[in-house]
Structure 1
Amino acid sequence: MGRLGIVVGVKIIIIYFHLLQREAIAAEAIVNELLFHGRWVYDDSNNYPLYNSSDCPFLQDEFNCIANGRPDNFYLHYSWQPFSCNLPRFDGEDLLKRLKGKRMMFVGDSLSLNQWQSLTCMLHKAVPHAKYSLNRQGSLSTFTFPEYNVSLLLSRNVFLVDLISEEKGKVLKLNSIRDGVIWKEIDVLIFDTWHWWLHTGRKQPWDYIEDGKNTYRDMDRLVAYEKALETWATWVNLNVDPTKAVVFLQGVSPDHLNSSDWGDWSNKTCESETQPVADTKYLPTTTHPGEVILEKVLNTMSFKPVYLLKVTELSQLRKDGHPSVYGYGGRQGMDCTHWCLPGVPDTWNQLLYANVLQKSGMQICFSTSSTANNINLITIFNFTCIYFCSVISLSILFIYF
């Protein structure tokens, strides 16, 4: 009977740790939700922006709106304030120390470039005297801080799945990821894909779509997007060790091409917009269709957790944050898709930093309301119940066996 008691006791301990792990993941998810719901607050102190474009000599022209002649600077001074928490202040040197000896890679389209450039500028501002190197080789860019042995990489792959040139033309293969070879052994991965899925006509980069053994001229874009994300999810499940790597999936970054989206019926674009959307009633009443698919695919994954950076809602409010005519094309172009730097992607990276802090066990949701306090109390209560139930169960076993 003694051996039976030991076996049962071990099983109870294993169940106890699984329950604790599940509770920790659930608590983490709730805190993440709190961080992404809030409002933009104007801050004319020295706190914002987190850097100036002049502090960042490697900032690319298309994001450098001030250098391109943008006359207003209000957009530089808005900070994100969650309703129920205080977002941790970004500490670039602390992040570099936490990443010491590691590699962080952004994988995606030009919005990944936007975010990668933002983070390199934020870190350079934090340690302005630290040496750095910037190397671009094909679709891979590497920014390194040798003193900290930290590399920030950008891998351009707009669909996450393969786009292959064949004799018949360019084929988008929904079930294939060759680039995954360079994603392996990366410590922190941030994936992003959305905007290129909607391009048509000259901007459509493929001639055919291949799904399994079937080839099509075109197909429902949302269906293709979901199939590609399922392929990506399978790759992550099979190739990423959750004890060694952290995986983020960037939420959909919205554009502001039609002013009716924020209650202005004059059919304008984002040009001349100088303030965020003031009234949240103009936000869509339903979740962005791309975001719906992201969450659906994440819920099917065995790799737990992939952190979803839910930047869609907070970014939808920032109609003022785009280059418009102050991007790379100047007056010849209109960019209501990418973001000026400094700007909105800096907040995405603040949220990324908050998640890194949380992953290390630090409490990041410093309460500004009873909501976060209630969540903390519930979490403590659940942990306590699990602990004492396990202790009682083991005590009974020792008594009777």
Structure 2
Amino acid sequence: MDFRVNCIFFHRLLLIALLHLSNIHNCIGACDLSEGSWVIDPSYPLYDATTCPFIEKEFNCQKNGRPDQNYLSYRWQPSGCDLPRFDGLDFLRRFEGKSIMFIGDSLTRDQWQSLTCLLYTSAPNLNYNLTRVGMISTFTIKDYGVNVFLDRNAFLVDLVNETKGRILKLDSIEEGKNWEGMNMLVFNTWHWWNYRNAHQPWDYIQVGDLLLKDMDRMAAFERALGTWGGWVDTKVDPTKTMVFFQGISPNHYNGSDWNEPKANQCQGQTTPVSGSTYPGQYPPAVAVVKRALSKIQNPVTLLDVTTLSLLRKDGHPSIYGIGGANGMDCTHWCIAGVPDTWNQILYNIIVS
């Protein structure tokens, strides 16, 4: 009799727990995760960067000598709900035997690097393999057969070498063949679209049959997103593949944007912007991305990380990146750091 009562009690507790978990994820689905503020949480960061052996020098701020650690202890608190922690083992179970690919520029590499660390540190003694062939890196957790690819493709559309020079083809996306057959795709492009003169990686822009030395960069960006959107609609089976677009990741080179005009770019910043509103302007690409996504027929989820990242003027490598004191980096993000929250949001969207 006691055993039967205990069993009934246990099953009721289990049912309550499952209902509670379901309610959490239903709440997440109805909550705008892009609105909120950063709060101190002693249980953060989500992992110790020193236990992730493959962090690239560019992002490895602690190993590069960054003296402060407070930036690691901030948690994103959405205004309308709580954001559950990233559960690496649950993520691995959900994607067991499956493949994920990140496609984009070095900000995409930042997020990919974060996810590889989140997964690797989720359990002790996980077996992994990390390889690179050409522009594609492959990170594999062997215990679960999970592959996380990175395709270094800054524009999504094709950049090719021809006799006339390097041509950025806004209507061509032949590289898309590398993205087919994945279970999840995370895309990004923007950072390189405004580089000019010697820093721009092309000589000509091709639009249809026209070959141009230059054009309005926002128009070029939107045209390329339209080409990519066409690829999503024709090449992606939404019953087999989830598609995300990583929102615009901002930089912090002008202290006036966060009401510190005397700031030396992002160097020495140790705390986020307080509150939930960024005082400066938002990147103009944000509106272009949202407009482009609205025209795609297949489901594409915007990973809207712009506001939460704008508030993190303290999260960049600054002089603790690949260039050291001679190369101020207020564009990329320290690992561990802000991109872990991007992946935490990605995970919770998947679960919900």
TM-score normalised by structure 2 residue count: 0.90
**Alpha-carbon displacement from aligned partner over 1:88-109 (angstroms, at most 9, x marks no partner):** 1111000000001110000000
Work out the number of aligned pairs and report it.
328
Aligned to 1:242: 238
Question: 1:306-325 residue pairs with structure 2 within 5 A?
Answer: 306-325=300-319
Match of 1:264 among 260, 265, 277: 260
Aligned to 1:31: 29
Match of 2:84 among 81, 84, 88: 88
User: How much does 1:171 deviate?
Assistant: 0.3
Matched, 1:172 2:192: no
Give the residue type in structure 2 aligned to 1:82: P
Match of 1:52 among 38, 42, 48: 48
User: How much does 1:126 deviate?
Assistant: 0.4
Question: Which protein shows a greater Rg?
Answer: 1
The structure 1 segments of at least 4 consecutive aligned residues displaced by more than 2 Å after TM superposition are 27-33, 279-285
User: How much does 1:289 deviate?
Assistant: 1.6
Matched, 1:255 2:251: yes
User: How much does 1:279 deviate?
Assistant: 4.6
User: How much does 1:85 deviate?
Assistant: 0.7
Match of 1:335 among 317, 329, 338: 329
Greater shift in the superposed pair: 221-230 or 30-39: 30-39
Q: In the aligned structure 2, how far is the partner of 1:32 from the partner of 1:152?
A: 28
What secondary structure, in the 3-state scheme, does the structure 2 residue paired with 1:352 have? helix
Matched, 1:101 2:97: yes
Matched, 1:208 2:231: no
Unaligned ranges ≥5, structure 2: 1-24
Q: In the aligned structure 2, how far is the partner of 1:74 from the partner of 1:257?
A: 21
Q: In the aligned structure 2, how far is the partner of 1:336 from the partner of 1:215?
A: 34
Give the residue type in structure 2 aligned to 1:140: I
What secondary structure, in the 3-state scheme, does the structure 2 residue paired with 1:237 have? helix
Question: 1:116-155 residue pairs with structure 2 within 5 A?
Answer: 116-155=112-151
Give the residue type in structure 1 aligned to 2:144: Y
**Alpha-carbon displacement from aligned partner over 1:214-242 (angstroms, at most 9, x marks no partner):** 11101111000000000000000000001
- Contact 2:31–2:80 under 8 Å retained in 1: no
Give the residue type in structure 1 aligned to 2:179: W
Q: In the aligned structure 2, how far is the partner of 1:30 from the partner of 1:124?
A: 25
Structure 2 vs 1, CA of residues 258 and 28 (structure 1 numbering), >3 Å: closer, same or farther?
farther
User: How much does 1:201 deviate?
Assistant: 2.0
RMSD: 1.6
Match of 2:286 among 291, 297, 300: 291
Aligned-residue identity in percent: 52
Q: In the aligned structure 1, how far is the partner of 2:249 from the partner of 2:351?
A: 23
Question: 1:368-379 residue pairs with structure 2 within 5 A?
Answer: none
User: How much does 1:206 deviate?
Assistant: 0.4
Give the residue type in structure 2 aligned to 1:144: T
Structure with more helix by fraction: 1
- Contact 1:283–1:316 under 8 Å retained in 2: no
User: How much does 1:288 deviate?
Assistant: 3.2
- Contact 1:283–1:317 under 8 Å retained in 2: no
**Alpha-carbon displacement from aligned partner over 1:241-269 (angstroms, at most 9, x marks no partner):** 01110000010000001001101122530
User: How much does 1:271 deviate?
Assistant: 0.4
Q: In the aligned structure 1, how far is the partner of 2:74 from the partner of 2:56?
A: 22
Matched, 1:157 2:163: no
User: How much does 1:325 deviate?
Assistant: 0.3
User: How much does 1:32 deviate?
Assistant: 6.3
Match of 2:184 among 185, 188, 202: 188
Give the residue type in structure 2 aligned to 1:195: H
Greater shift in the superposed pair: 30-39 or 210-219: 30-39
Give the residue type in structure 2 aligned to 1:40: W
Q: In the aligned structure 2, how far is the partner of 1:32 from the partner of 1:298?
A: 20
User: How much does 1:178 deviate?
Assistant: 1.2
- Contact 1:38–1:83 under 8 Å retained in 2: yes
Aligned to 2:16: none
Q: In the aligned structure 1, how far is the partner of 2:121 from the partner of 2:164?
A: 48
**Alpha-carbon displacement from aligned partner over 1:282-302 (angstroms, at most 9, x marks no partner):** 4346x5321101110111111
Structure 2 vs 1, CA of residues 279 and 95 (structure 1 numbering), >3 Å: closer, same or farther?
closer
Give the residue type in structure 2 aligned to 1:316: L
Q: In the aligned structure 2, how far is the partner of 1:348 from the partner of 1:73?
A: 19
Q: In the aligned structure 1, how far is the partner of 2:28 from the partner of 2:336?
A: 29
- Contact 2:226–2:292 under 8 Å retained in 1: yes
Aligned to 1:356: 350
- Contact 1:159–1:194 under 8 Å retained in 2: yes
User: How much does 1:275 deviate?
Assistant: 0.3
Question: 1:11-22 residue pairs with structure 2 within 5 A?
Answer: none
Structure 2 vs 1, CA of residues 267 and 53 (structure 1 numbering), >3 Å: closer, same or farther?
closer
